[in-house]
Chains A and B, each alone.
Chain A
Amino acid sequence: MHTGSSRIAGSTLGMDEAELIRAAQAGDHDAFERLVRQYDQNVLRLAMNLLRSPEDAYDIYQEAFLRVFRNINSFRFDCSFHTWLYRIVTNLCLDHLRKKKVRRTESAVVETPDGPMDRLDSVPEMRADGDPQRTLLSRELRGRISEALSGMTARERMVFEMRHYQGMRLRAIGDVLGTTEEAAKNCLFRATQKMRSALGDFV
């Protein structure tokens, strides 16, 4: 985070997370950067999965970590840093999803000579792995997953993404979303049902 070329080598190396946080709170940009790098890959993946758009994911990344930077002094170690960070990230994503939903209902359906069509009905980019058979399958698969995701509530999506792709425990997910483990369980249950009916013939 610094622009100077001559950093004292290793001054933040070997710090554990709590030390990094304290250093970042004292204004150490290097420590802040190291803290960011422990989590930012997963944050970006989560945002990418939830919003399905690189530009939206980019926005979430910037906004989330800038908020962390601005508010690091209000972090009091009364929950894990991961939980604190993910509260910020999921709140931003929820806002984004809500806005998207509004846009969708406003402008998504267009009239065509063949009747109304959903113009956001596009399939996310496919993997470029060169195997046409697989690519076709994966394209179809992604289309179905997208469809199932758009049929979920924002909370169901959050829980599903955090459990399935981030590997978080339901209890931790409840903490992040400000709800109980039981409620998180129910969300995961419903999300899985929806995925299953969307992907019926793939499994």
Chain B
Amino acid sequence: MNCETAKQQLVLFVYGELSFDEEELMEQHLDGCAGCSAERARLESLQEVLSQGESEVPAGLLARCRRDLAVQVAAAHAAPRRSLSLAALWRDWVVNPPLWLRPVGAVAMLALGFFAARIVPGDSPALARMGVAQDPAPVFSRVRLVNPNDSGGVRVQYEEVRQREMSGALQDDHIRRLLLAAAVDQTDPGLRVESIDLLKQHCSDDEVRRALMNALRTDSNSGVRLKALEGLKPYARDPETRKVLAQVLLVDDNPGVRTQAIDMLVQNKEPEMAGVLQELLPNEQNGYVRSRIQKALNEMKASAGTF
């Protein structure tokens, strides 16, 4: 090896990126060449200096990143309306499309699209200037009567949906009623996820627990069902809950939901669960869920075929 080749390969040498043979040749050359050895020493001290110069990750940044990621991932399931970039993910979780328009509302909106200019002209000069029609959806539910008059105007009779706000503790009876109603609102899966998420903190309440079990059994959205499962976790021993869980195992089409249901059912390792799992095993299509069942069975020391 001559000095020119050596100088070219020294960088790779100090990073340990030369092949075994190349490294041998390099070491032989370095043994006999003071110039290249000095060069090697300089490269090594460069590496050391560079290591001191690494820009530091500010304290708390990692924790902030982790926390916000967790929030975003949860939000990806809970509230797609707030984050458009997560729309793609949301689609996976929403089995039925988010029907935010009720049929009745749709009719009303068509009608109002036609009449809006006359109904709200003075209300929002800014919107009018921008040529943007004010979104009528939250205000009107239905136009009852359209009545042209002699002077070329028109009289419209409509029903108004008034948006009202209420705040209070989760324990508050009114709030709880509203949440229970929202938990079964067929038009908005995001709303159901959020409501279930809040309700599950009060799972000790019988009515809430029934609502969760109901959501787990019947909700068309797997995000909602997963939330309901989470809320039921403290009740994995409750016979009624277990019945629903077993049903979920048999009929739920979402592997994530089935996996969680298995975990909850086997956590107390009751021997009768082995029989149920045994029965499920041959019918389970999803490889991951199957491996989870097998694992649970092994942990119960119930080998396949003994039940």
* Chain A interface (Cβ < 8 Å from any Cβ of B): 1-4, 6-8, 11, 22-23, 25-29, 32-33, 36-37, 40-41, 44-45, 48-49, 52, 54, 57-58, 61-62, 65-66, 69-70, 124-125, 127, 138, 141-142, 145, 163-165, 169-170, 185, 188-189, 192, 195-196, 199, 202-203
**Does B264 lie within 8 Å of A8, measured CB to CB?**
yes
**Does A188 lie within 8 Å of B49, measured CB to CB?**
no
Q: Contacts A11-B263, A62-B72, A188-B15; is A49 near B288 (CB within 8 Å)?
A: no
Known: A44-B62, A66-B73, A125-B56. 11 other contacts (CB 8 A): A3-B230, A4-B200, A6-B230, A23-B259, A27-B254, A33-B70, A40-B66, A54-B57, A66-B72, A163-B15, A199-B50
A4 to B198, CA, bound (A): 10
* Chain B interface (Cβ < 8 Å from any Cβ of A): 8, 11-12, 15, 17, 42-43, 45-47, 49-58, 61-62, 64-66, 68-70, 72-74, 76, 85-86, 88-89, 197, 200, 222, 226, 230-231, 233-234, 254-257, 259-260, 263-264, 267, 286-289, 291
**Does B70 lie within 8 Å of A6, measured CB to CB?**
no
With a CB–CB cut-off of 8 A, which chain A residues contact B46?
192, 195-196, 199, 203
**Does A138 lie within 8 Å of B70, measured CB to CB?**
no
**Does B256 lie within 8 Å of A40, measured CB to CB?**
no
A57 to B62, CA, bound (A): 10
Min Cβ gap B273→A in Å is 14
**Does A6 lie within 8 Å of B58, measured CB to CB?**
no
Q: Contacts A26-B289, A188-B15, A189-B11; is A58 near B230 (CB within 8 Å)?
A: no
Min Cβ gap A189→B in Å is 5
A169 to B69, CA, bound (A): 29
Min Cβ gap B281→A in Å is 17
Candidate in A7, A11, A49 with the most chain B CB atoms within 10 angstroms: A11
Min Cβ gap A4→B in Å is 4
**Does B76 lie within 8 Å of A4, measured CB to CB?**
no
A79 to B51, CA, bound (A): 30
A188 to B51, CA, bound (A): 16
Dominant SS among interface residues on chain A: helix
**Does A203 lie within 8 Å of B55, measured CB to CB?**
no
Q: Contacts A1-B73, A4-B230, A145-B53; is A40 near B62 (CB within 8 Å)?
A: yes
**Does A142 lie within 8 Å of B65, measured CB to CB?**
no
Q: Contacts A27-B254, A70-B89; is A188 near B11 (CB within 8 Å)?
A: yes
Q: Contacts A41-B62, A62-B69, A70-B89; is A138 near B52 (CB within 8 Å)?
A: yes
Min Cβ gap A18→B in Å is 11
Q: Contacts A52-B55, A196-B46; is A3 near B15 (CB within 8 Å)?
A: no
**Does A26 lie within 8 Å of B55, measured CB to CB?**
no
**Does B69 lie within 8 Å of A188, measured CB to CB?**
no
Q: Which of A8, A28, A36, A49 contacts B54 (CB 8 A)?
A: A49
With a CB–CB cut-off of 8 A, which chain B residues contact A124?
55
With a CB–CB cut-off of 8 A, which chain A residues contact B286?
26
**Does B88 lie within 8 Å of A70, measured CB to CB?**
yes
With a CB–CB cut-off of 8 A, which chain A residues contact B263?
8, 11
- Residue in B closest to A66 when the chains form the complex, CB atoms: B72
A100 to B11, CA, bound (A): 29
Q: Which of A61, A164, A169, A196 contacts B65 (CB 8 A)?
A: A61
